[in-house]
């Protein structure tokens, strides 16, 4: 029986993780869980799974949840220190790091330092503090398993000892991208898209933030950076391939001409279950892939003119230091502004680029440097948004 700490229980990754736990109660137990402000969803989780500890993002949300779950034998807590504490809880064996954004970094590090198996669905942890993060993983000899479908696919397609350093016979990593809802749209078309259109992903069911990132290809840019840290490569070693069907989740090309791919229906329960049970596999209730029914698979190169965020991510990697944290922070601010209809969809990349140009990159010597870079980038991004009329 594996005790699970689920950071971000009410999001799409959290819900898929709970489904795997529900399917295999003999293997997994939800010990700890967190959510930011979704009290009703968390109350339902508490009633169904009875975790020992639950953390909310504010005291108000904690109190509302405790009132809704009166009588349940659960410790109701709130705040960042409590998040760190549940990730390191002695009853926890695995930490599913599914808090979206920069907020997921600190509790994930707490889980690493407590030597838990880390199931990483929070790409921002590696984007903002990649070297520090991987150094902590190595120092504490922690099993780190990528949960993003693309990185999980790369992990499955590489020799199983290759996480952290690709083998000498690997030629390229082929990182697939669906292309999002605007793959075939012109720049003029994209100037006028609404948040509702951008959130309507053709293949995946995801939250608002990651859906917008997928539509702008920033999600793929962040995944590019994440892959560099996970597999010990640079952007030059990775080709992004647009694959609209999202059936091949990523591939590895070898020097002998072989290409190994991981395929499956687009359902996050597959990589989640693989991470939770590696090196074994279990039933997930995801239907088997019907290649005859699919009929054909399509591939194309990404258009960097229409989707400049992908190049910005590569630029940030080569710039190094705090540039990646600054890009991530700027993007979070810009996406929030787009969802609030303060800026247009194409303005997200414009703001991201301006923040990168304005802020000097510094070596990441500590987490404090990362936090400062994040704060500065958010301030600059907000100033840029407020300084002009965008729509």
Q: At what angle do helices 105-113 and 367-386 cross, to 10 degrees?
A: 170
pLDDT above 60: residue 162: no
Task: Encode 298-336: b = buried (16+ Cβ within 10 Å), e = exposed.
Answer: eeeebeeebbbbbbbbbbbbeeebbbbbbbbbbbbbbbb
Bridge-based pairing state of the strands 28-34 and 2-7: parallel
Instruction: Give the pLDDT confidence score for residue 157 in this predicted structure.
Output: 94
**How much of the chain is in helix, strand and coil states, percent to nearest 5?**
50, 15, 40
Sign (positive or negative) of CA dihedral 367, 371, 377, 380:
negative
Q: What is the dihedral of CA 348, 351, 353, 358, to 10 degrees?
A: -160
pLDDT above 90: residue 254: yes
Q: What order of strands is seen across the sheet that includes strand 259-263? A: 238-242, 170-177, 248-254, 259-263
3-state secondary structure of 324: helix
Domain boundaries, the chain: 2-142, 153-266+285-294, 320-386
pLDDT above 70: residue 204: no
Sign (positive or negative) of CA dihedral 314, 318, 321, 323:
negative
Confidence of residue 205 (pLDDT cuts 50, 70, 90): low
Task: State mean pLDDT over 190-198.
Answer: 93
Among residues 181, 174, 267, the alpha carbon closest in space to that of 223 is found at: 174
CA-CA distance, 289 to 263, in Å (whole number)?
Answer: 8
Please give the mean pLDDT across all residues of the chain.
94
Instruction: Give the pLDDT confidence score for residue 165 in this predicted structure.
Output: 54
**Residue with structure tokens 């108000």?**
60
Confidence of residue 124 (pLDDT cuts 50, 70, 90): confident
Lowest pLDDT segment from 34-43, 119-128, 243-252? 119-128
List pLDDT tens digits, range 210-243: 899 999 999 999 999 999 999 999 999 999 999 9
Per CATH, the number for 320-386 is 1.10.1740.10
Q: Model's pTM, two decimal places?
A: 0.90
pLDDT above 90: residue 94: yes
Per the omega criterion (within 30 degrees of 0), is the bond before 279 cis? yes
Task: State mean pLDDT over 14-34.
Answer: 97
Task: State mean pLDDT over 195-203.
Answer: 85
Per CATH, the number for 2-142 is 3.40.50.720
List pLDDT tens digits, range 256-284: 999 999 999 999 999 999 999 999 999 99
Instruction: Give the pLDDT confidence score for residue 210 in this predicted structure.
Output: 85
């Amino acid at each position: 029986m594996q005790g699970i700490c689920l950071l971000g229980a009410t999001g799409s990754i959290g819900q898929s993780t709970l489904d795997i736990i529900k399917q295999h109660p003999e293997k997994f137990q939800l010990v700890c869980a967190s959510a930011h402000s979704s009290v009703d969803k968390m109350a339902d989780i508490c009633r169904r799974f009875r975790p020992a500890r639950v953390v909310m993002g504010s005291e108000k949300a904690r109190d509302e949840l405790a009132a809704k779950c009166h009588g349940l034998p659960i410790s109701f807590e709130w705040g960042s220190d409590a998040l760190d504490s549940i990730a390191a809880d002695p009853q926890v064996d695995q930490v599913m790091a599914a808090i979206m954004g920069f907020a997921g970094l600190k509790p994930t590090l707490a889980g690493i330092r407590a030597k838990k198996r880390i199931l990483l669905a929070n790409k921002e942890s590696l984007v903002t503090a990649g070297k520090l993060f991987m150094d902590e993983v190595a120092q504490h000899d922690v099993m780190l398993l990528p949960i993003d479908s693309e990185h999980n696919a790369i992990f499955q397609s590489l020799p199983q000892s290759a996480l952290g350093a690709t083998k000498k016979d690997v030629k390229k990593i082929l990182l697939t991208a669906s292309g999002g809802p605007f793959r075939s749209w012109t720049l003029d078309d994209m100037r006028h898209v609404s948040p509702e259109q951008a959130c309507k992903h053709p293949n995946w069911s995801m939250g608002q933030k990651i859906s917008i990132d997928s539509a702008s290809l920033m999600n793929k840019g962040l995944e590019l950076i994440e892959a560099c840290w996970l597999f010990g490569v640079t952007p030059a070693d990775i080709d992004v391939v647009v694959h609209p069907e999202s059936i091949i989740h990523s591939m590895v090309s070898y020097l002998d001409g072989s290409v190994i791919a991981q395929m499956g229906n687009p359902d996050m329960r597959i990589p989640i279950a693989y991470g939770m049970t590696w090196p074994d596999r279990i039933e997930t209730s995801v239907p088997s892939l019907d290649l005859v029914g699919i009929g054909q698979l399509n591939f194309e190169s990404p258009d960097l003119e229409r989707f400049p965020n992908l190049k910005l991510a590569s630029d940030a990697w080569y710039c190094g230091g705090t540039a990646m944290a600054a890009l991530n922070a700027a993007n979070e601010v810009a996406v929030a502004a787009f969802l609030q209809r303060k800026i247009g969809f194409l303005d997200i990349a414009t703001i991201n680029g301006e923040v990168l140009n304005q802020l000097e990159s510094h070596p990441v010597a500590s987490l404090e440097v990362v936090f400062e870079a994040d704060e500065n980038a958010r301030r600059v991004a907000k100033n840029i948004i407020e300084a002009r009329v965008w729509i």
